[in-house]
Structure 1
């Protein structure tokens, strides 16, 4: 069984803006199924696409099955079968040997930046980069599937 162990963090925007970071990759993704217990997502970049099935989160873990699919088919699924969508720019940054994926959201989620780190175990130790602020792993409003239905622009800050 596929398993994802992931923790999410908000960023210190000031530190993020000062950071010398690599160019990001544009992602479009949509949800064919959004249910509290499972999601089915299609994600595309300019050159690749994936179909991903995720189970319910328990702690920072959940089952995950991800399959690369033809870009043309993924575009059709995204455009014709997804109930909700979002777009973001993903930057991959390595900090002390660990890969951090930093998502800068676009459109209705503009202004939101979330960093994710995938781990081998829930109790794995790692160092936080100076540009990371508050952990939001267990706050469901930061789940990508929820951001498609309750976008950041509608939050009362």
Structure 2
């Protein structure tokens, strides 16, 4: 399966009142270089995800995600050591798309990123007023890199 997404810095917290769902996320990386292997607690569910390297544009990559038992996800997160991060995801509908806006906590407090998943690289979409600079393809904003930063 291919994931196509664009990522932006967020300029205001106006999106919070528009969110239809808010989910706490704790995630860690068993392998942080492509292919990355991520373990995630999404609320009360566990997932393991394998992602290939990004294409040259930084927009697309292979992604395989599977739900796993919550107890297994918790145990695997412990194996990630310090390669973890926490955030609160807000699902925000805007003009026919659902934006995923992450407010990072812990050592990345203050970082807020918005992502939009697309069905094709050329798909058109509107930017919400609270979206700023695009950081798609900038490795500084990859979750795997953020999880390794101390």
Check whether the contact 2:18–2:93 (CA below 8 A) recurs between aligned residues. Answer: no
The runs of at least 4 consecutive aligned structure 1 residues that moved more than 4 Å come to none
Whole-angstrom distance in 1 between the partners of 2:18 and 2:66: 28
- Quote the residue 1:103 is aligned against: 102
- Quote the residue 2:36 is aligned against: 39
- Quote the residue 1:155 is aligned against: none
C-alpha RMSD over aligned residues: 1.4
Helix, strand or coil at the partner of 1:20: helix
- Quote the residue 1:89 is aligned against: 88
Whole-angstrom distance in 2 between the partners of 1:97 and 1:3: 20
Q: Which structure 1 segments of 5+ residues have no match?
A: 152-157
Whole-angstrom distance in 2 between the partners of 1:47 and 1:18: 24
TM-score by length of 1: 0.88
Q: Note closer, same or farther for the CA distance 1:126–1:69 as it changes in structure 2 (3 Å cut).
A: same
TM-score by length of 2: 0.92
Q: Which structure 2 segments of 5+ residues have no match?
A: none
Number of residue pairs matched?
146
Whole-angstrom distance in 2 between the partners of 1:126 and 1:45: 26
Whole-angstrom distance in 2 between the partners of 1:33 and 1:96: 36
